[in-house]
Structure 1
Amino acid sequence: MEANLTPQQLWDCALRLLSRRDHSRRELAQKLRQRQFDPEWIEQALDRLEQQHWLADSRFAAVQVRQHVLKRHGPLRIRAELQRKGVGPAEIAQALAAEDPDWFELARLCYRARFGPDERLDMKERARRMRYLQARGFAPDHIRYALESADE
């Protein structure tokens, strides 16, 4: 740790990061650790930020879910991304339930935007398109619906 870093500098840095966008607690702690702040100071600052409602995993999760839905990502990808950023299962479930998009329709829209109207597909092309939707985070039922509704 560098000797010239103070708790006030840590606080200022944390507020600067939060002024740009919401962060999860784990994400913010990681960024502050990368800047060589004392781990004990970091925990104290994070606790204080949570008490003052400037840091909230539930709010972060809600914003992230909304952004991912706008990008036409499925629930599996959203859940994995939030877990990777340190958001707990309860907050993830709450954020997904609050947004509550029609995942089947979202998968269909995602498919149509990428592939347009369907012609007859061979098995290889159908598998490729299924992998595309799977990589976007859609469940098998959503993928099946998107492919079947595209045939109509």
Structure 2
Amino acid sequence: MPDLRVRALQMLTRRDYSRAQLQAKLAVHAESEEELNAVLDTLQSERLLSDPRYASQRVVARAGRYGNARLRQELKQQGVGEADIEAALPEAGDEAERCRAVWLKKFGQAPGSAEERAKQMRFLQYRGFSGDAIRRTLRGVEE
């Protein structure tokens, strides 16, 4: 168990992990599921492992490039609970403003044709921005 704890602490000193991520990484080194859960529970009780903190940091780091849908999907894939995701998403800021910033960086000029408009919308959808944020961005640009 001390070996597993040391390994977990070494990983956590480099960056934060969600509980599910750390569990997956440490599973190959654990002798039993109970030992692994005991180490993770201890780390959580000592506040060295925290899904809300991980979600918050991840949202802040990636909000400049992605919309709420993409951020939500990534956090779910990394094993973060729905309540922690909902608590972290407001830290990203206004989605429409982020959408406009991404659009400006990528395109910078109003679409000249319906095909170009569709291309820009697809790009922003892929980045996880809501339909409302995309419409507001493109409507503001075209006026």
Taking structure 1 as the reference length, the TM-score comes to 0.88
Aligned to 1:151: 142
Alignment of 1:114-133 (within 5 A): 114-120=106-112, 122-133=113-124
Aligned to 2:23: 29
> Which of 81, 84, 100 is the aligned partner of 2:74?
81
Q: More displaced, 26-35 or 45-54?
A: 26-35
CA–CA distance in 2 between the matches of 1:74 and 1:9? 40
Aligned to 2:33: 39
- Spell out, residue by residue over 1:62-96, the C-alpha distance to the aligned partner (whole angstroms, 9 max, x if none): 101101113x2100000000011111111111111
**What CA RMSD, in Å, does the superposition of the two structures yield over aligned residues?**
1.3
SS of 2:93's partner is coil
In structure 2, list runs of 5 or more residues that go unmatched: none
Amino acid at match of 1:68: R
Q: More displaced, 52-61 or 32-41?
A: 32-41
Taking structure 2 as the reference length, the TM-score comes to 0.94
1:136 aligns with 2:127: yes
Could you tell me how far 1:37 is from its partner in structure 2?
A: 4.4
Aligned to 2:57: 63
Amino acid at match of 1:140: G
CA–CA distance in 2 between the matches of 1:80 and 1:28? 19
- CA change 1:94–1:119 in 2 (3 A) is closer
In structure 1, list runs of 5 or more residues that go unmatched: 1-6
Q: Percent identity between the aligned chains?
A: 38
Could you tell me how far 1:101 is from its partner in structure 2?
A: 0.8
1:50 aligns with 2:41: no
- CA change 1:51–1:131 in 2 (3 A) is same
